[in-house]
Structure 1
Amino acid sequence: MTTPDGTKAHPRSGRRESAEERADRRWTDLLQEVRVAQTGSQVLFAFLLSVVFTPRFTGLDGFDQGLYVVTVVLGALAVGALTAPVAYHRIFTGHRFKPQLVDAASSLVVVGVVLLALTIGSAMLLLLRAATGSAAAGWITGGVMFWFLTCWLILPLRHLRRQNHGRD
């Protein structure tokens, strides 16, 4: 729907903004989201890098050392995905591809958040196994991962579905 001033109201948001304005708004929103996730992933990754240099690390069994390697790799992948929008922005700047930039960066942020959740889960499992030596570590970690799934996916999708049904 085009308004008298030439802007279009986006069908889902109802906002009166040009395609460029919409891309700028979405990019700004995405950057705010990335700042939160990126900082957390970088701090966690830095901590994980230091663990191997502690005396206790050599006392871990083979499974826990393997779990540590998996955790570090997941952390590196999360940091890579969550910082990728910066590289995309640098490459896309000046080419008038902001809507495509926002879509590509959004996809990478979703991947990065999933990798961050997996990193946190595997780090938590490693930590609880080292701290307690108990099989309960797996159950506790599973419960926390279910909480992440609930907070980061199930509840938002439930609210989205509720909002969409309210518009019908």
Structure 2
Amino acid sequence: MIDDDVDTTSDDGRDETPNERSDRNWSELMQEFRVLQTGTQIMAGFLLTLPFQQRFAELGPFDHVLYLCLVIFAVLVTLLALAPVMLHRILFGERAKAQLVHAASAILILCLIAASLLFVGIVLFVFDFVVSPTAGIWAGGAVAVLVLLLWTVGPRLLRNARDRAAHASPTTNASKT
């Protein structure tokens, strides 16, 4: 007998209700946000201390603008990372978990994009100031290439590995994450 509350439309081998799936996905998203918040909070703290350093006055106009852009990205990532918590608190008890999961997933992608730009900018900023503007461009460009590879090649490799495993063992369902 099949329970009507169990999600049988998924092919990932899990017997869970839509509410259980939403709860699991919400927990996974919150853990991903925790990881993101730690790194970006450290970067934001680093950025906020810079104007109080003596050598900050040595920065040229480009570096001042770049610095302010980095502060804006750090604040953007921090606020975006707090948004799902705020949404959850406001909508708590209104049976909107599936919608919260969907919104939090989209917000997390935006956070990761903004954090990627933040890290590229920080490397550009530091190398520009410590070594030279040319070194800053090269170092920032290298990090940008790494980010693009992680966002494009990494998922492609994982999908290919999943597909190869599925073809090698067609009776085993690969877990969706």
Contact 2:80–2:111 (Cα < 8 Å) also in 1: yes
Mapping 1:67-106, distance limit 5 Å: 67-106=66-105
Query: Match of 2:15, as an amino acid?
Result: R
Aligned to 1:148: 147
Of 2, 5, 8 in structure 1, the residue corresponding to residue 3 of structure 2 is 5
> Is the Cα–Cα contact under 8 Å of residues 8 and 17 in structure 1 kept in the other structure?
yes
Q: Summarize deviations over 1:91-137 as a string: whole Å, max 9, x none.
A: 12100010000100111011011101111111111100010024132
Distance 2:160 2:92 in 1: 35
SS in 1 for 2:52: coil
Following superposition, the deviation at residue 10 of structure 1 comes to 4.1
Q: TM-score w.r.t. structure 1 length?
A: 0.90
Aligned-residue offset at 1:164: 4.4
Query: Retained in 1: the 8 A contact 2:22–2:98?
Result: yes
Distance 1:138 1:19 in 2: 48
- Is the CA contact (8 Å cut-off) linking 2:123 and 2:143 kept in structure 1? no
Match of 2:64, as an amino acid? Q
Residue identity matched to 2:153? I
d(CA) in 1 for partners of 2:27 and 2:143?
A: 31
The answer on whether the counterparts of 1:10 and 1:17 sit within 8 Å (CA) in structure 2 is no
SS at match of 2:32: helix
Q: What do the CA deviations read for 1:25-65 (whole angstroms, capped 9, x no partner)?
A: 00011111111001111111111011111111111000011
Aligned-partner Cα distance in 2 for 1:48–1:139: 21
CA distance in 1, matches of 2:90, 2:127: 42
1:30 paired residue number = 29
Identity rate, percent: 33
Q: CA deviation at 1:158?
A: 3.1
Q: RMSD between aligned alpha carbons?
A: 1.8
Residue-pair matches, total? 166
Q: Distance in 1 between matches of 2:152 and 2:84?
A: 22
Cα distance in 2 for partners of 1:12, 1:46 equals 44
Aligned residue for 2:46?
47
- Establish whether residue 159 from structure 1 lines up as the match of residue 158 from structure 2: yes
**Equivalent AA in structure 1 for residue 114 of structure 2:** L
What is the aligned partner in structure 1 of residue 123 from structure 2? 124
Gaps of 5+ in 1: none
Query: Relative contact order, CA 8 A, sep 6+: which one is greater?
Result: 2
